Structure 1
Amino acid sequence: MPAIAPHQLRRFLLSHPAHFIALGAGSGLSPVAPGTVGTLWGWLAFLVLQLWLAPAALGWLVLASLPVGWWACTVSARHMGVADPGSIVWDEIAAIWLILWLAMPMGFVGQAVAFALFRYFDAAKPGPVGWADRLFKGFGWRGGFGIMFDDLVAAGCTLLVVALWRHFLA
């Protein structure tokens, strides 16, 4: 199956619920830095969601976002004909939700630092993030898991740095 052409992605977004989720409600359609735009969308969505949901409910939402994301990323990558398309950003959204849920409360500067750290780990893929990115490749459930897994490892690295920052500098 050929990959989806960029001009067809808007129609693709609305053609299946998995596509809408995996493409971050359209944030993954950004022609520039879709992963960063998806992460920004996730950050904004988290801030809005925390106005209505208690921390425990947010935790359940974050937990639910993982298997739902695995499914959506698997289906969307298969339908796009690309193993790990850049327009799939649910992995970034779920990861920033996990980071913010575990690291809150913190002010704007702390959130911005967490955002920047996550983007660094996700884009540069140092050490364990690069390992996680290479571990699960391809199509099917294994590939869908791989799309999510490296971002979760990047989230873990981000949380480790935030914890060390809080311990030694706060």
Structure 2
Amino acid sequence: MFSSLPHSPRATQVQEKSKEKERDAGHENATEDTPTSQDAKTLVPIVAKKEKILQMEVAKLGKLLAQRNEMLDGLQESHEYLLTTNGQLQERSRLRRERLVSLRTLLEAGQEQHGKDKTGVCDVIGVNELDATAEKCGVLKGIILGWWINALDWSNNAWGWRNRQRERRWL
């Protein structure tokens, strides 16, 4: 159906083939171009182009795979480091708990030995903390009062300067 149309590729191939047959009528040993060989000739550049595209994709995917492998190696190293660090932290935590337990037992033994109860020790610690806090508050109170007085002096001086400037303008 399409081969009968004058503008179809198959029609032009058939016409070219018939022209070649007419030219080569005297040459019986000449090889004929069959439609399959002509199709092969047109397919070779297409296949080569596709092959080149596929090779480029293979190279691109190879680079991407190498990058991902590097990233995986980095993640694996980070994971191992974190596991090591976590193990060290757990060991430190365990040692601190053991030290705390031993300190508690020593404190209890010392309290039993000296006959003091826990409330007496806590009261002494509380009084010392209150004294230290009161001392800090007194120092802070002095600092704040000194700052406030300096700020008032500065504002009075600044206000007086402004008033003098205004008086000069009116004169």
- Shorter-chain TM range is under 0.3
TM-score normalized by the length of structure 1:
0.19
- Higher helix fraction: Structure 1 or Structure 2? 2
The structure with more radius of gyration: 2
TM-score normalized by the length of structure 2:
0.19
